[in-house]
Amino acid sequence: MSESSKIVTEDDVVAELRDGMTIGIGGWGSRRKPMSLVRAIARSNVADLTVVSYGGPDLGLLCATGKVRNAVYAFCSLDSIALEPHFRNARQSGAVSTLEMDEGMFLLGLQAAAWRVPFIPTRVGLGSDLLDRQDEIRTVVSPYDDAEELVAAPALHLDVALIHMHRGDRRGNGQYLNVDPYFDDLFCMAADRRFMSVEKIVDTDELAAGGPVQSLKINRLMTDGIVEARHGAHFTECVPDYPRDEEFQRAYVASAKSPEAWFEWRAKYLDCGGHDEYRKVVGL
């Protein structure tokens, strides 16, 4: 990687990871997940991770391959299929510990980490089982005249953040081209190290001409490395480049039904090698 370029590979990103790290993964459910990076982690020897995610197959696949010790999440869904089956198996068997948060509280946790404060006060969660069943979620009393009791949404500090965008340049700027940026920028700002995969690396001038200025959600100060990975979000959707691969997603879901089904799916689609080999096997 030259001084002016942040281009790296999936293997370079995995080499940055250590056992026990807290990894934040951007995207939303089964939408624009950095799946080429997730598969690289799944094939690695890294273990005992805490995964922080608006969860989808990223969390499920890492649970299925035994990489996750703790999961911090607001939900774990495949969108068109309500429940992520591999995560469900891990959760129900007790293979992973969890911190379950409301979507809004999860967002505030990322914002707190990005702002480098230990928590953000909120009314989210008051009167719910989030407080009754999870000692990690605590309350604070307002120091002002009303002395109101509020939930202290804890900062979700990340060692590493992984995100996927539609376009990027070699300096590490990133652009989304659909209608929703999700919260990828907050994942990056909440992390010590930040890696972004993109569908295509283009010149910076092409980024500026490729969409409105608000689509340039990720600036180079937020990233430490960029990976060019065409179909890098597959099988999740990356609209407008491609929709979710529903047929493949159904096959993934079926692989959670038995150890034999998982072994067959893993041998074909995960153990085949890196992202380029995966693309060949899938026919992309």
pLDDT single digits (tens) 42-91: 999 999 999 999 999 999 999 999 999 999 999 999 999 999 999 999 99
Whether 234 maps to a domain, the answer reads yes
pLDDT for residue 130? 87
**In a shared domain, residues 201 and 256:** yes
pLDDT for residue 209? 80
Whether 110 maps to a domain, the answer reads no
**In a shared domain, residues 79 and 211:** yes
Copy the structure tokens of residue 246: 């529903």
Whether 238 maps to a domain, the answer reads yes
Low-confidence ranges of the chain (pLDDT < 70): 1-3
**In a shared domain, residues 147 and 173:** no
Whether 47 maps to a domain, the answer reads yes
pLDDT for residue 3? 54
**In a shared domain, residues 45 and 135:** no
Range of 128's domain?
119-154
Residues 256-279: tens digit of each pLDDT: 999 999 999 999 999 998 999 999
Whether 149 maps to a domain, the answer reads yes
Q: How far apart are CA 89 and CA 108, in angstroms?
A: 28
Counting the structural domains of the chain, the total is: 2
**In a shared domain, residues 126 and 233:** no
Global pTM value: 0.95
Whether 126 maps to a domain, the answer reads yes
**In a shared domain, residues 125 and 201:** no
At 138 the three-state DSSP class reads: strand
**In a shared domain, residues 92 and 70:** yes
**In a shared domain, residues 150 and 191:** no
Q: How far apart are CA 276 and CA 279, in angstroms?
A: 5
CA of 45: how far to CAs of 15, 26, 236, 249, in Å? 10, 22, 24, 25
Whether 95 maps to a domain, the answer reads yes
CATH number, domain with residue 74: 3.40.1080.10
**In a shared domain, residues 78 and 38:** yes
**In a shared domain, residues 97 and 132:** no
pLDDT for residue 21? 98
Whether 109 maps to a domain, the answer reads no
Question: What single letter denotes the amino acid at residue 2?
Answer: S
Backbone angles phi, psi at 34, to 5 degrees: -80, 70
At 96 the three-state DSSP class reads: coil
Q: Environment class of residue 133 by beta-carbon count within 10 Å: exposed (0-12), middle (13-18) or buried (19+)?
A: exposed
**In a shared domain, residues 95 and 46:** yes
**In a shared domain, residues 88 and 193:** yes
Spell out the alpha helix ranges (H) of 3-120: 10-15, 35-43, 57-64, 85-93, 103-115
Note whether 61 and 33 are within 8 A (CB): no
